[in-house]
Amino acid sequence: MSTEGPRTEMSWSAWGDPDAAAPLPDAVVELLGAGLGVKRPGVRAGEIAAVRLPVSRLADTLRSTLASAVGGDNVLEDAETRVRHTRGKSTPDLLRLRSGEADDAPDAIVLPGSHDEVMAILRACAEEKVAVVPFGGGTSVVGGLTPRREGFAAVVALDTRRMNQLVEVDEESRTATFEPGLLGPEAEALLSERGYTVGHHPQSFEYATIGGFAAARSSGQASAGYGRFDEMVVALRVATPAGELDLGRAPKSAAGPDLRQLILGSEGALGVITSVTVKIHPTPAERVYEGWRFGSFSDGAAALRRLIQDGPVPTVLRLSDEAETALNLARPTEIGSGASEGCLGIAGFEGTAADVAARREGATAVLAEAGGESVGTEAGESWVHGRYRGPYLRDAMLDAGALVETLETTTFWSKIPDLYEGVGDALRSSLSDQGTPPIVLCHISHVYPTGASLYFTVAAAQTDDPIAQWWQAKSGACDAILAAGGSITHHHAIGTDHRDWYEREVGPLAIEALQAVKARLDPGGIMNPGVLIPEAAAPRIE
């Protein structure tokens, strides 16, 4: 069972559907000038045909071999397709493309239609020393689609969009097996026909793929109820240059380390995920989302902790700090006026009518006792209707001349206050030192009995070199994350942007173990080289 019709292509120089983008209201543009010192518009994209591309380096012999494997129509080297497969959707990625620079575009894009075709591509590219970048929705925001090119004859993007089948629904076990190229909405539509849902809705949901969710350890906005995507996965099939991995014979097993966990979060550095089996749930009969106001971020965090630890647990549970609450709820003319004081939390409930009613009643008692004030369902429904709009707003602010970007982290509850303060201070200090004092917003986006994630949004006026400006700020924030005992990422993954801090977080022995695994599964090092796993040091010669 597969999807019908062509999918909407993402904008090549911005997020999402080009028809859904909208300019900022004049009042907001004026506020950017008054509040952040934005003095001039940002660089806007020209025509895609004007983007500078290097000449394709794909050898004729490899082109012929790939065409034999997947069909000539599925080996693409035209300029537009190469640009659309260049980098991901982080602010630096888009700024470089908007300036017309695509020096690291793939030399070709290959579209396999099956596991066997993926294996054939990997064998051919390994033989010719050509790097392979697995490409799903192209939504990476951490440099996950920007491999190291040195030492390779060429780079190809392996686009999984033709692998778009719902292979099987096991209703007795409540599992579904997907090919990796299905977009989130496509997978949900196919399951909905059978009365089921995966329950995975990250902000990238509309354009990210099932394979990408697994490869990046994605976490959806309803993770309190359904779990993270890596917790949903029960089986995987993986094509590697060294052969095939077929992992997951049972929900749980004591048969050695769980090798599924080796692939989840591997970001295409070990192989290509060609099949994913996940837990599924009956489509909820009822969904209710409501807002709760707390006097402070610390008060709200304590309430969320109490609820997730002792129950009843909502399906969605999140909390904005004071600054984010004010910007999200106030009208433009009221920003900074105290019109929206306190912190807004969102509690959502999905399930049968009886289950929703019972959990909602219990959660209401807990949150009220913890000092929360219910503000009704309007705030909750507003969040639901706007939960995929953030990246569009980011792009409109880039057009207006503001630098806007996000980062996220996670830690245990006892360390949340220090992490929140340390990262916020680092961002404010770095950007203020560059003459562009920022506004820093934060929310708790995912909660667990033992800890939570913090998601920061940063806005400042752009300097003449906004890419360097952001990198300096983010580097300081990443240092602060490790200093406060946080993890360098909760759900955005490592890519190339976080790689150095990942090495510091886990230590040299852990990195050497990963390098050894990569050397076995990918002897030629062709899989997304430089992403996730630092390059192994050259052997010492005594």
Residue 233, classed as helix, strand or coil, is: strand
State how many domains the chain has. Answer: 3
Whether the Cβ atoms of residue 137 and residue 531 lie closer than 8 Å to each other? no
Domain end position, chosen among 254, 282, 310: 282
Does one domain contain both 276 and 309? no
Inside any domain, residue 500: no
Report the pLDDT value the prediction gives residue 3, as an integer from 0 to 100.
Answer: 67
DSSP string over 169-211: EETTTTEEEE-TT-BHHHHHHHHHTTTEE-----TTTTT-BHH
Rounded CA-CA distance 14/393 in Å is: 10
Rounded CA-CA distance 283/114 in Å is: 29
Inside any domain, residue 485: no
Does one domain contain both 300 and 266? no
Inside any domain, residue 427: no
23 membership: H or E segment, kind and range:
none
440 membership: H or E segment, kind and range:
strand 439-447
In which order are the strands placed within the sheet that holds 155-159?
Answer: 75-76, 108-110, 155-159, 131-135
Does one domain contain both 237 and 302? no
Does one domain contain both 295 and 273? no
Rounded CA-CA distance 272/68 in Å is: 20
Residues annotated catalytic, as ranges: 455
Does one domain contain both 230 and 277? yes
pLDDT in tens, 299-318: 999 999 999 999 999 999 99
Report the pLDDT value the prediction gives residue 1, as an integer from 0 to 100.
Answer: 73
∠ Cα 300 303 308 (to 5°): 125
Domain end position, chosen among 282, 309, 333: 282
Inside any domain, residue 366: yes
Q: Give the domain CATH number at 365.
A: 3.30.70.3450
Whether the Cβ atoms of residue 312 and residue 224 lie closer than 8 Å to each other? no
Among candidate residues 196, 512, 385, the one with its CA nearest the CA of residue 188: 196
Among candidate residues 154, 209, 147, the one with its CA nearest the CA of residue 180: 209
Does one domain contain both 239 and 294? no
Does one domain contain both 372 and 292? yes
Distances (CA, A) of 8 to 12, 77, 379: 12, 20, 30
Report the pLDDT value the prediction gives residue 4, as an integer from 0 to 100.
Answer: 62
Dig out the tokens for 416 from the structure.
Answer: 């949340």
Report the pLDDT value the prediction gives residue 506, as an integer from 0 to 100.
Answer: 98
pLDDT in tens, 468-502: 999 999 999 999 999 999 999 999 999 999 999 99
Dig out the tokens for 435 from the structure.
Answer: 């003459």
Contact residues for 12 (Cβ-Cβ < 8 A; gap 6+): 45, 48, 80, 83, 84, 97
Reduced 3-state DSSP string for 317-363:
EEEECHHHHHHHHCCHHHCCCCCCCCEEEEEEEEECHHHHHHHHHHH
> Which ranges of the chain have pLDDT less than 70?
2-5, 329-340, 537-542
Distances (CA, A) of 465 to 43, 99, 129, 431, 471: 11, 12, 35, 13, 10
Does one domain contain both 273 and 173? yes
pLDDT in tens, 387-397: 999 999 999 99
Dig out the tokens for 181 from the structure.
Answer: 């190229």
- Entry pTM: 0.95
Report the pLDDT value the prediction gives residue 339, as an integer from 0 to 100.
Answer: 38
Inside any domain, residue 38: no
Report the pLDDT value the prediction gives residue 341, as an integer from 0 to 100.
Answer: 81
Distances (CA, A) of 493 to 10, 217, 486: 21, 7, 14
Report the pLDDT value the prediction gives residue 410, as an integer from 0 to 100.
Answer: 98
377 membership: H or E segment, kind and range:
helix 377-386
Does one domain contain both 135 and 182? no
Does one domain contain both 94 and 125? yes
Contact residues for 151 (Cβ-Cβ < 8 A; gap 6+): 129, 529
Inside any domain, residue 516: no
Inside any domain, residue 320: yes
DSSP string over 425-438: HHHHHHHHHTT---
Report the pLDDT value the prediction gives residue 333, as an integer from 0 to 100.
Answer: 39
| 440 DSSP β-pair partners | 458
Peptide bond before residue 534 is cis, with ω within 30 degrees of 0: no
Rounded CA-CA distance 2/210 in Å is: 13
Distances (CA, A) of 467 to 39, 79, 90: 18, 25, 11
Does one domain contain both 271 and 314? no
Domain end position, chosen among 104, 137, 159: 159
Range of the domain at 95: 54-159
Report the pLDDT value the prediction gives residue 340, as an integer from 0 to 100.
Answer: 57
Q: Give the domain CATH number at 200.
A: 3.30.465.10
Among candidate residues 201, 252, 192, 248, the one with its CA nearest the CA of residue 228: 201
Whether the Cβ atoms of residue 346 and residue 317 lie closer than 8 Å to each other? yes
DSSP string over 451-508: EEEEEEEEEEE--S-HHHHHHHHHHHHHHHHHHTT-BS-SSS--TTTTHHHHHHHH-H
Give me the amino acid identity at 499.
Answer: R
Dig out the tokens for 326 from the structure.
Answer: 């004010």
Whether the Cβ atoms of residue 224 and residue 314 lie closer than 8 Å to each other? yes
Whether the Cβ atoms of residue 441 and residue 324 lie closer than 8 Å to each other? yes
Q: Give the domain CATH number at 89.
A: 3.30.43.10
Inside any domain, residue 190: yes
Cα radius of gyration (the chain): 23
Rounded CA-CA distance 211/231 in Å is: 14
Does one domain contain both 200 and 271? yes
